[in-house]
């Protein structure tokens, strides 16, 4: 440890040094910088492997995801809908899916000006 | 502000106040500048977290529990998962314990750096505030890479963890630890030698060891009074059963002591992270967890950055808990707050309150109206009609406003 200071202002040295450094903040203008690898963003859905078990719907904490079969039991036409206003991006659905037909991307710029456009089909 | 006959002034701070980050009410009776009496009322942030958990299945409840606190989200889920695993009889893989430990210690680092910044801001030392929050970004970036989010990392799940640590990421953790250690040593030296800091913090917000026992304070508040109240040492869990934590206590009993304990704990957290990264075993990161728990009840304790978390689960054998109780560390520390404030200056009030690192919404669980006399349930629609009538009596017509639909 340094010896006891007699005058206040111990942080002054660091403060002066930082005057000549570039800013600590990052430019985050178009969503590229600062997005870490493995960031949980918008979901991706592969309807061909989905078996309509709805485990994702059962485990979703906010009830944001909906899986619908528009076809019959034999000829499936699977659709997944996501309410971005409700989704907390925990990606529990990805973990719960037994067939791994859900995955997540790093797309995070999903804001919208109206509530209706937050309901998207995956 | 109201003045009483005996020339004492009652200053109400809150529930809504520009300097409060969350609502809480402090009624402070002043004799001159001296705080004679402090009455604290909390409960303005009740969110019904426990009831929400009881009406969801265990997997959904985990994400509610994660949102009890924004800062110590990992500590809460660790505690809840630990309770679940205990009741289900799950054997968590060693690697999962180590990953939980690494994330937990990183969380302690970011929580204490945040606290140091807030405390510096409360005493008007904004330079330190800026630098500590800049350094905190390094930890938050790491946590975002590990869990995929800056807060609410979602690392824990029943029976282990959801994300593995790659060797590249572990190398980066060690690199950040080296960078941070250098800066933290500087802050530790600053806390020990900076005369203005010592003059501002020493001797205020005193809570003696007897008071700590009386008010059941936990975490750094208790440790700053020389009481070794650290769950990681008293009742080791997970990775701490294998790797021991060095006890950090201080005998200042005041806000300065709490600052020293937190700064030293950050250096200890770095030492632990390095050990965890070095010793981490290979193997699976999770085991399959059942959807239903057997009948029973369990109490689990985990050391969060602010103190001891206590979670209780009672199960009736269904896929959702019958009762959940969460005791956040701030709840234990609030009891001694009036005692800490009394006898000190009004200017010391913000830093004394900030020194326990209060988290209002973590604490608020239920509202008990004393002397309310009304015991009835009112549905949402009648509350809405009542409010419309109230506005109409003031000449405002709010009936054109549409209710938000969910």
Mutate which of B149, B151, B290, B319 to test chain A, going by most A C-beta atoms within 10 A?
A: B149
DSSP state of B289: P
Written as tens digits, the pLDDT of chain B (406 aa) is 555 567 789 999 878 888 778 888 889 999 989 999 999 888 888 888 888 999 999 999 999 999 998 888 999 999 999 999 999 999 999 999 999 999 999 999 999 999 999 999 999 888 889 989 999 999 998 998 898 888 888 899 999 999 999 999 999 999 999 999 999 998 888 888 888 888 899 999 999 999 999 988 999 999 999 999 899 999 999 999 999 999 999 998 999 999 999 999 999 999 999 999 999 999 999 999 999 999 999 999 999 999 999 999 999 999 999 999 999 999 889 888 899 999 999 999 989 999 988 888 888 876 555 666 666 777 878 888 888 888 888 887 766 666 555 4
CB contact under 8 A, A14 and B64: no
CA distances for A36 relative to B66, B312, B348, angstroms:
21, 35, 41
Mutate which of B77, B128, B195, B320 to test chain A, going by most A C-beta atoms within 10 A?
A: B195
CB contacts, 8 Å: A7 with chain B: 195
pLDDT on residue B4 = 57
CB contacts, 8 Å: B64 with chain A: 61
DSSP string of chain A, one letter each residue: -PPPPSSS-TTHHHHHHHHTSPPSS---SSS-TT--TT---SEEE-TTT-----HHHHH-SS--EEEEE-S-SSS--EEEEEETTT-----HHHHH-TT--EEE-S------SSSGGGEEE-
pLDDT on residue A1 = 47
CATH of domain B49-340: 1.10.645.10
Q: State how far the Cα of B93 lies from the Cα of B285, in Å rounded to an integer.
A: 6
* Two tokens, residue B225: 């009074």
Give the bridge partners for A119, in sequence order: A83
Can you give the residue ranges of every domain in chain A? 36-121
On whether the CB atoms of residues A77 and A70 are closer than 8 A, the answer is yes
pLDDT on residue B172 = 92
pLDDT on residue B108 = 94
Asked if A22 reaches chain B (Cβ–Cβ under 8 Å), the answer is no
* Selection from B161, B189, B183 nearest residue B286 by Cα: B161
Q: State how far the Cα of B175 lies from the Cα of B365, in Å rounded to an integer.
A: 40
Asked if A105 reaches chain B (Cβ–Cβ under 8 Å), the answer is no
Residue in B with minimal Cα distance to A6: B195
**Interface predicted TM-score (ipTM) of this complex, two decimals:** 0.85
Q: State how far the Cα of B47 lies from the Cα of B87, in Å rounded to an integer.
A: 27
Burial of B271 (0-12, 13-18, 19+ CB in 10 A): middle
On whether the CB atoms of residues B79 and B61 are closer than 8 A, the answer is no
Question: A6: distance to nearest CA of chain B, Å?
Answer: 8
Sequence-ordered list of residues with C-beta below 8 angstroms from that of A45, at least 6 positions apart, any chain: A80, A101, A102, A122
Q: State how far the Cα of B5 lies from the Cα of B16, in Å rounded to an integer.
A: 27
Across chain A, which has 122 residues, the per-10-residue mean pLDDT values are 59 83 72 70 90 91 91 87 90 91 86 87 86
Phi and psi torsions of B343, nearest 5°? 95, -5
CB contact under 8 A, B195 and A8: yes
Q: A36-121, what's its fold?
A: Alpha-Beta Plaits (3.30.70)
pLDDT on residue B1 = 57
pLDDT on residue B371 = 65
């Amino acid at each position: 440890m340094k010896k006891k200071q007699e005058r206040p202002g111990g942080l002054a040295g660091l403060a002066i040094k930082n005057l000549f450094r570039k800013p600590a903040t990052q430019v985050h203008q178009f969503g590229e910088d600062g997005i870490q690898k493995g960031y949980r963003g918008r979901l991706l859905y592969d309807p061909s492997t989905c078996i309509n078990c709805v485990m994702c719907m059962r485990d979703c904490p906010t009830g944001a995801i909906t899986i619908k079969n528009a076809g019959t039991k034999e000829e499936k036409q699977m659709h997944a809908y996501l309410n971005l206003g409700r989704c907390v991006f925990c990606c529990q659905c990805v973990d719960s899916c037994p067939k791994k037909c859900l995955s997540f991307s790093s797309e995070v710029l999903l804001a919208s000006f109206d509530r209706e456009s937050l309901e998207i089909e995956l | 502000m109201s003045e009483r006959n005996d020339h004492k002034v009652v200053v109400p701070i809150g529930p809504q106040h520009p300097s409060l980050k969350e609502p809480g009410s402090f009624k402070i009776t002043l004799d001159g500048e001296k705080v004679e009496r402090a009455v604290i009322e909390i409960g303005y942030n009740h969110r019904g977290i426990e009831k929400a958990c009881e009406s969801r299945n265990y997997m959904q409840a985990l994400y509610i529990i994660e949102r009890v606190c924004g800062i110590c989200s990992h500590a809460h889920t660790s505690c809840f998962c630990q309770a679940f695993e205990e009741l289900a009889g799950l054997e968590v893989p060693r690697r999962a314990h180590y990953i939980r430990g690494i994330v937990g210690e990183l969380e302690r680092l970011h929580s204490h750096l945040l606290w140091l910044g807030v405390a510096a801001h409360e005493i008007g030392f904004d330079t330190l505030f800026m630098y500590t929050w800049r350094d905190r970004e390094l930890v938050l970036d790491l946590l975002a890479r590990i869990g995929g989010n800056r807060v609410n990392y979602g690392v824990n799940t029943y029976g282990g963890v959801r994300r593995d640590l790659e060797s590249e990421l572990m190398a980066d953790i060690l690199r950040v630890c080296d960078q941070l250690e250098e800066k933290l040593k500087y802050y530790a030296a600053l806390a020990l030698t900076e005369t203005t800091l010592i003059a501002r913090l020493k001797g205020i917000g005193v809570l003696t060891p007897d008071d700590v026992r009386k008010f059941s304070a936990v975490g750094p508040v208790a440790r700053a009074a020389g009481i070794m109240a650290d769950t990681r040492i008293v009742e080791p869990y997970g990775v701490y059963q294998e790797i021991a934590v060095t006890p950090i206590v201080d005998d200042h009993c005041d806000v300065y002591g709490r600052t020293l304990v937190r700064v030293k704990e950050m250096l200890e957290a770095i030492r632990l992270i390095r050990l965890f990264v070095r010793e981490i075993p290979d193997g699976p990161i999770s085991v399959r967890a059942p959807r239903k728990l057997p009948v029973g009840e369990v109490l689990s304790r985990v050391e969060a950055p602010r103190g001891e978390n206590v979670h209780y689960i009672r199960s009736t054998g269904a896929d959702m808990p019958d009762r959940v109780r969460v005791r956040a560390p701030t709840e234990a520390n609030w009891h001694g707050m009036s005692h800490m404030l009394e006898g000190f200056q009004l200017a010391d009030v913000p830093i004394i309150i900030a020194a326990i690192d209060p988290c209002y919404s973590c604490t608020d669980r239920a509202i008990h109206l004393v002397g309310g006399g009304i015991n009835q349930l009112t549905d949402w629609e009648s509350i809405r009609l009542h409010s419309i009538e109230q506005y109409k009596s003031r000449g405002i017509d709010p009936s054109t406003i549409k209710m938000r639909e969910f």
